[in-house]
Structure 1
Amino acid sequence: MVVVINTVRVVDVGREDGGGGTEELNGGNDGMLWEKNLDMSLEAEREMSNNYDNWERLVRAVIRKEEIWQMFHDRSPSISSISSDSSLDSEDLDVPFDFSRPGGSSPYQQLPQRTVDVPFDFSGLVFVRGFTPVFDLDDILRSTAEFLGKGTFGSAYMSAMDSGITVVLKRLNLANMPENMFRQHMDVIGNVRHENVSALRAFYFSKDEKLMVYDHYSNGSISAMLHGKTGENRAPLHWETRLRIAVGAARGIAHIHKQSGGKLVHGNIKSSNIFLNSNQYGCVSDLGLASMIPSPVMRNAGYHAPEVKNTRNVSQASDVYSFGILLLELLTRKPPLHAIGVNEAVDLVKLVNSVNGKERTANVFDVELLRNRSLEEQMIKTLEIGMSCVAKSPRRRPKMAQVVKMIEDISTMNTRSNLVFIEGVNPDFDLQDMLRASAEVLGRGTIGTSYKATLDNGSTIAVKRLREVIVTSKEFQQQVEVIGRMKHKNVATLTAYYYSHDEKLMVYDYYGEKSASSMLHGKIGENKIPLDWETRLRIAVGAARGIAHIHTQVGQNLIHGNVKTSNIFLAAQGYGCVSDVGLATLVSTTSVLDSRSSGYRAPEVTDTKKLSQASDVYSFGVVLLELITGKPSILSEDNEKDIQLVRWVSSVLREDWTVKVFDIELLRYPHMEQAMVKFLQIAFNCVKSVPEQRPKVSEVVRMLEDISGTNSGD
């Protein structure tokens, strides 16, 4: 199937420009990204067919709470007590219940002490190496639980424990498996560690029960995201999200296939076994269960390769076939099987094959995706990958490592030819609009150049053009997605980004031209804006809150890396708002150590060239000194060598000239002198030479809020 569509040509862009002031994004002599005529044409909107848009998921699984209670409290639980019509794949049974008694009126009530003796050895919960045993089986049995569904290999439950930990519990149909064989399987599965494979946390074995414990993914499965639940509307899924699901799942499966000497098989790839990990990429669950049950009943015929239907023997090639079905689901938003009669159904592969000719290809894709016709080329390439994966002959299917490369190429193509908007942003402009916009240079810093771009629709955005980016496109995309998900009123909102070989752009909401630096120090030929004490305090409190929020991200390991007054703006409420989050980790060390930022640089960064949250605290301490003194981070005096602000303030305080330290503008507020002295003391705590002696930013927030009489909820 060959489809010809118009493509977008992106012109190579030049390097840093000279000069400032106002310039046209589509003009100038500096070879910028913006050019006057972008060779971009899109096909006219074609008529969309909705013949297949009313596909619905068939759900027949109904489980009574009493049956679940019996499963966990009878001395001899019977797997068969659950209706064989239930399906783990449906994931539509989201009725919560507790394990304490049947028919409970409150689905999430506090559970009483266990009174029924259950046939479990509480000491038998075995944690996989690397996971701390922070709960036991007793905690799980007393937890509030939600039945997720029943499938080929057993039943799944979400268990929310009193400690706040939530896990997924798999209860397996393995009544006759010997313990040594079960443990061998657990050893293999437990050793598979990858960010795109759901890790096995713990397991349990007894004569009557075989359990597996996994982390819980709060967003639900990809199946639920694509097809929704009974009585609910499906949530919108942007193309970037679907592509990340495909890339992540492919990487996870490829990693699985490299294990056990390149012989490990997943055996049960389907959208209900794919979840979103913390980086919002696809993550594969239920690894290895297919190999634990001989000749399982094939409930999910829509995912199984033709040879599996005949032999019931799964393989890496059949995994590839199942992944191909997943790709088709992501593209069409249709389930793998569609009932067309009482006893008749058509599978997704046959449906796609039935659509021949480029004029009808659009009918295959989810109508939601076709709203952005510039993405059609990427969708067609993804469709071609999916169809190669579902080739009837196993030998004609690609290896998963090849599939990963092909999808990553599309992902790179996505960032190369388009603005990529952050999840949740509803774009009202595109790359072409930005290229046509007029722009004003706001400033040049250690990491890049900032522009104010005014679009034809009247809206204004801030564009950061990065220089000396040293990370790969994959690393760039992952870091930017972390930044984009970080929603906070004191952190500048990232709306989109652009990545190509020659250009890396970040697009933000526009907060006005006046940074804290320009307000404090003014520009050449201009008078600086007088800042009263209350405004300076709000700038400090807001910026501290923003940095504190940044430090809580990515397992409390994220750093800002470039805290300075030129990266702090006033938000709508008049509080400081921090920009340029995390960009320092994308550029070269030379940029980080640029002499223009030396006044903010912690001593250890000069020695180790490594940034940290403690170095962020130091930089913020310099910001506080700027706010209290009104002086820049580096002071240049006539016939004198440049001196850092930290050293200048220290030298003045050694003479006990406290008043001389304060900005003359602040001397109009003598009744606030005590608060200013406390403010100065906080700043000096932050700029201590030993990193361990500096406070955490969360502590700085509390101290500044004490001075201002506000709290984080204000």
Structure 2
Amino acid sequence: MSNIYDNWERLVGAVIRREQLWQMFHDQSPSDSSISSDFSLDSQVLDVPYDFSIPGASSPYHELPPSAVENLQKKEKSVEKEVSGLVFVQSFSPLSDLEDMLRSTAQFLGKGTFGSAYMAAMDNGITVVLKRLNAVKIPEKKFRQQMEVIGNVRHENVCALKAYYFSKDEKLVVYDHYSNGSVSEMLHGLTGENWAQLDWETRLRIAGGAARGIAHIHKQGGGKLVHGNIKSSNIFLNSEQYGCVSDLGLASMIPIPVKRTAGYHAPEVKNTRNVSQESDVYSFGVLLLELLTRKSPLHAIGGNEVVDLVKLVNSVNGKERAINIFDVELLINRNLEEQMVKMLEIGMSCVAKTPRKRPKMAQVVTMMEEITTINARNHLRPKLVFVEGRNPDFDLEDMLRASAEVLGKGTFGTSYKATLENGITIAVKRLKDVIVTSKEFQQQIEVIGKMRNESVATLIAYYYSRDEKLIVYDYYGAGSASSMLHGQFGKSKISLEWEARLRIAVGAARGIAYIHTQLGQNLVHGNVKTSNIFLTAQGYGSVSDVGLATLMSTTSLLHIRSSGYQAPEVTDTKKLSQASDVYSFGVVLLELLTGKPTILSEDNEKANQLVRWVTSVVSEEWTAEVFDIELMRYQNIEEAMVKVLQIAMDCVNSVPEHRPKMPEVVRMLDDISGTNSRA
């Protein structure tokens, strides 16, 4: 474990040196150094990546005067002397392979109220945010106690503290990185331009999530914990696109006089150590007004005049006049006015001048949920959507009344066989870990729904809501290729003759090849495996679960990798490709040939992947030992099996460029199938 800490310490040391370098650059420039510390700087302020892999790496010292270089080098030596271990909080543990840390680059994100923030991206795909705290003067013991309190806060709407660092001169905290940026950036853009399109549903999720996060914080520490710095630049979107609160509890450690120009702090707060749960409620109220109006907490109304957003909204009375302050983007849909007015009322109750008149955050959560209920009753209410060309023979209520049987639990969720009252039988997959918005989900499912091929399972309908995501397919009574080869849920496996296995392979290959022709020949299946291959009425393979991988979280993808099907180059959904589909299909061929599962365990030793085992056997020229013993009783098929084995080995080549394309695989399998039939 010590080497892990050493690597982190080098990472921390590099970030510290980068900050010092940035500071020295701006010490030379009066115009730059005059920038307010409350201003969020664009990451391009210092756009030279810092290479963590080399101590003192390629920093542009030559651009500094000799005295500055000497001064910086002295500071570096001081930092190295003072470095303490980075402390990982609670259940978080670093990955064992942290060599990527040594090759990381840091991007300067900006300077905020409490310090400078950096994004550190590793080669292994992990990205974290390191915040270097300014002006922390509390003793080490008290700092660590506060960090442990913050680290124990675990909630889906609170940005989790991963680690912290304390030395005499440096204090850092480490968080997850949220790639969508802050709510402030979405509402106003980094420079007041190029803001994001935010529909009502998204703003409602931001507000509802942030409210739940703050309410959870207020329950901690015996009901006395305070956030202290609620603002839109500290709100991010979690994997479910709900608001997630960051920078918890830093205010109480850094005594800074509150600038009344900030716009978020309650009137009674004079110093950051003067914050309370009531002042958190006030700040959340300002956030609600910001979401409704898309105006900054300090709103320019012309010339150099700046007006406090709370005062601006307070000056508007009555429902009809209140409509005039809402963001015009929201006013396009007149059905939203009732919900918007209710959120405005919640916001105004939160920013009451007298603290005791403000609601508790738990009450705010309840009021926000009432708006969500109204939203569900309106036209935004989710429903079962039938894809192009399918007539609605049933609805959601019919599905809920149907008798259901669990077919299996897979990477992306649980599958059910549902028999409706009208006699129709369908397969319903209940998805988990979906990370995309309803619009993105709908777009992907509609692409899948338009596919019409006998070797691709037909998608009938889909359903999307906050808590449930369902997709509905035609039901294949014969079950999956996996259940036939290996058995499932206590059922015995089915004895599959060679021609049956060959038809499964040919059909699945045709289906995948067809999928690869869609979306301008850019569509990827992403999760090819025997449990996603079913048999048509003619006994050919038909591929299911098309394109779901790109909708799911990284956690699901890691599970796929551990299943033995995923290509070695695939580390996240962005790395999925048609070449990785070919690799997965090669594994399917090996399953059909050997009758073995993708993960082998022998004598309780370390699990061995099927690909690795077959490769080792073939390299020893013991090819016959690879094949399923059940196939050995059939005559005149050995040549065909060897040819299919060769195709499989080409497909699972570790170099993606060396794998065949799926149309080529189809052609070779068709040749073998035709020859086999004639024999």
> Under a length normalisation based on structure 2, what TM-score does the superposition of the two structures give?
0.57
Q: Residues 161 and 175 of structure 2 are in contact (CA less than 8 Å); yes or no, is this contact kept in structure 1? A: yes
Give secondary structure in 2 for the equivalent of 1:345.
strand
The partner residue of 1:86 within 11, 18, 36 is 36
Shift of residue 419, structure 1, vs aligned partner = 3.5
Task: Kindly provide the amino acid, as one letter, of the partner of residue 339 in structure 2.
Answer: Q
Give secondary structure in 2 for the equivalent of 1:539.
helix
Task: Kindly provide the amino acid, as one letter, of the partner of residue 307 in structure 1.
Answer: E
Shift of residue 128, structure 1, vs aligned partner = 1.6
> Which residue in the other structure is 1:167 paired with?
128
Aligned partners of 2:171 and 2:543: how far apart in 1?
54
The partner residue of 1:708 within 661, 665, 671 is 665
Give secondary structure in 2 for the equivalent of 1:328.
helix
Structure 2, gaps ≥5 residues long: 1-15, 51-57, 64-71, 403-415, 421-429, 450-458, 479-502, 517-521, 550-583, 593-627, 669-679
Are residue 492 (structure 1) and residue 492 (structure 2) matched? no
Task: Kindly provide the amino acid, as one letter, of the partner of residue 665 in structure 2.
Answer: S
Call closer, same or farther: CA 1:387–1:206 in 2, change over 3 Å.
same
Matches within 5 A, 1:20-419: 69=18, 71=20, 83=33, 85-88=35-38, 90-95=40-45, 96-99=47-50, 100-102=58-60, 117=77, 119-120=79-80, 121-134=82-95, 143-161=104-122, 163-230=124-191, 232-298=193-259, 301-309=262-270, 313-340=274-301, 344-419=305-380
Aligned partners of 1:444 and 1:674: how far apart in 2?
49
Any idea what the Cα deviations from partners look like across 1:588-619, whole Å, max 9, x if unmatched?
xxxxxxxxxxxxxxxxxxxxxxxxxxxxx9xx
**Aligned pair count?**
492
Q: Residues 174 and 210 of structure 1 are in contact (CA less than 8 Å); yes or no, is this contact kept in structure 2? A: no
Give secondary structure in 2 for the equivalent of 1:159.
strand
Q: Residues 293 and 326 of structure 2 are in contact (CA less than 8 Å); yes or no, is this contact kept in structure 1? A: yes
Call closer, same or farther: CA 1:138–1:416 in 2, change over 3 Å.
same
Q: Residues 546 and 577 of structure 1 are in contact (CA less than 8 Å); yes or no, is this contact kept in structure 2? A: no
Aligned partners of 2:265 and 2:507: how far apart in 1?
64
Shift of residue 365, structure 1, vs aligned partner = 1.6
Task: Kindly provide the amino acid, as one letter, of the partner of residue 36 in structure 2.
Answer: S
Shift of residue 135, structure 1, vs aligned partner = 9.3
Shift of residue 194, structure 1, vs aligned partner = 1.4
Aligned partners of 1:259 and 1:500: how far apart in 2?
27
Shift of residue 537, structure 1, vs aligned partner = 2.5
Q: Residues 490 and 546 of structure 1 are in contact (CA less than 8 Å); yes or no, is this contact kept in structure 2? A: no
Shift of residue 129, structure 1, vs aligned partner = 2.8
The partner residue of 1:549 within 503, 508, 526 is 526
Task: Kindly provide the amino acid, as one letter, of the partner of residue 83 in structure 1.
Answer: S
> Which residue in the other structure is 2:427 paired with?
none
**Greater relative contact order (Cα < 8 A, sep 6+):** 1
Shift of residue 708, structure 1, vs aligned partner = 1.7
Aligned partners of 2:181 and 2:379: how far apart in 1?
29
Q: Residues 675 and 707 of structure 1 are in contact (CA less than 8 Å); yes or no, is this contact kept in structure 2? A: no
Task: Kindly provide the amino acid, as one letter, of the partner of residue 338 in structure 1.
Answer: H
Q: Residues 217 and 275 of structure 1 are in contact (CA less than 8 Å); yes or no, is this contact kept in structure 2? A: yes
Task: Kindly provide the amino acid, as one letter, of the partner of residue 243 in structure 1.
Answer: L
Aligned partners of 1:505 and 1:208: how far apart in 2?
50
Q: Over aligned residue pairs, what C-alpha RMSD do you find?
A: 5.9
| Higher helix proportion (structure 1 or 2) | 2
Q: Residues 489 and 577 of structure 1 are in contact (CA less than 8 Å); yes or no, is this contact kept in structure 2? A: no
Aligned partners of 1:196 and 1:239: how far apart in 2?
19
Moved more, 211-220 or 484-493: 484-493
Shift of residue 159, structure 1, vs aligned partner = 2.3
Give secondary structure in 1 for the equivalent of 2:269.
helix
Q: Residues 162 and 175 of structure 2 are in contact (CA less than 8 Å); yes or no, is this contact kept in structure 1? A: yes
Matches within 5 A, 1:307-706: 307-309=268-270, 313-340=274-301, 344-419=305-380, 439-441=391-393, 492=448, 497=463, 537-539=509-511, 549=526, 564=534, 576=543, 578=545, 656=633
Call closer, same or farther: CA 1:406–1:659 in 2, change over 3 Å.
farther
Moved more, 366-375 or 441-450: 441-450
Moved more, 541-550 or 158-167: 541-550
Aligned partners of 1:507 and 1:271: how far apart in 2?
35
Call closer, same or farther: CA 1:73–1:334 in 2, change over 3 Å.
closer
> Which residue in the other structure is 2:606 paired with?
none
Q: Residues 327 and 382 of structure 1 are in contact (CA less than 8 Å); yes or no, is this contact kept in structure 2? A: yes
Aligned partners of 2:59 and 2:371: how far apart in 1?
52
> Under a length normalisation based on structure 1, what TM-score does the superposition of the two structures give?
0.55
Aligned partners of 1:465 and 1:392: how far apart in 2?
57
Any idea what the Cα deviations from partners look like across 1:487-546, whole Å, max 9, x if unmatched?
869983799846699xx99689xx9x99999xxxxxxxxxxxxx9996652225678999
Q: Percent identity over the alignment?
A: 54
Shift of residue 355, structure 1, vs aligned partner = 2.4
Q: Residues 560 and 581 of structure 1 are in contact (CA less than 8 Å); yes or no, is this contact kept in structure 2? A: no
Aligned partners of 1:543 and 1:659: how far apart in 2?
33
Call closer, same or farther: CA 1:398–1:532 in 2, change over 3 Å.
closer
Q: Residues 534 and 544 of structure 2 are in contact (CA less than 8 Å); yes or no, is this contact kept in structure 1? A: no
Aligned partners of 1:162 and 1:136: how far apart in 2?
11
Aligned partners of 1:219 and 1:535: how far apart in 2?
40
Shift of residue 294, structure 1, vs aligned partner = 2.4
Call closer, same or farther: CA 1:363–1:91 in 2, change over 3 Å.
farther
Any idea what the Cα deviations from partners look like across 1:316-366, whole Å, max 9, x if unmatched?
011011111111111111111113467642111122222223323322221
Aligned partners of 2:380 and 2:419: how far apart in 1?
18
Give secondary structure in 1 for the equivalent of 2:274.
coil
Give secondary structure in 1 for the equivalent of 2:111.
strand
Q: Residues 192 and 256 of structure 1 are in contact (CA less than 8 Å); yes or no, is this contact kept in structure 2? A: yes
Q: Residues 465 and 506 of structure 1 are in contact (CA less than 8 Å); yes or no, is this contact kept in structure 2? A: no
Moved more, 163-172 or 193-202: 163-172
> Which residue in the other structure is 1:606 paired with?
none
Q: Residues 526 and 547 of structure 2 are in contact (CA less than 8 Å); yes or no, is this contact kept in structure 1? A: no
Shift of residue 169, structure 1, vs aligned partner = 1.5
Structure 1, gaps ≥5 residues long: 1-66, 106-113, 422-430, 451-463, 469-475, 518-530, 552-558, 583-616, 626-650, 661-670, 682-694
Shift of residue 199, structure 1, vs aligned partner = 1.3
Q: Residues 533 and 543 of structure 2 are in contact (CA less than 8 Å); yes or no, is this contact kept in structure 1? A: no
Any idea what the Cα deviations from partners look like across 1:610-643, whole Å, max 9, x if unmatched?
xxxxxxx9xx989x99xxxxxxxxxxxxxxxxxx
Give secondary structure in 2 for the equivalent of 1:549.
coil
Shift of residue 163, structure 1, vs aligned partner = 5.0
Task: Kindly provide the amino acid, as one letter, of the partner of residue 85 in structure 1.
Answer: I
Task: Kindly provide the amino acid, as one letter, of the partner of residue 708 in structure 1.
Answer: V
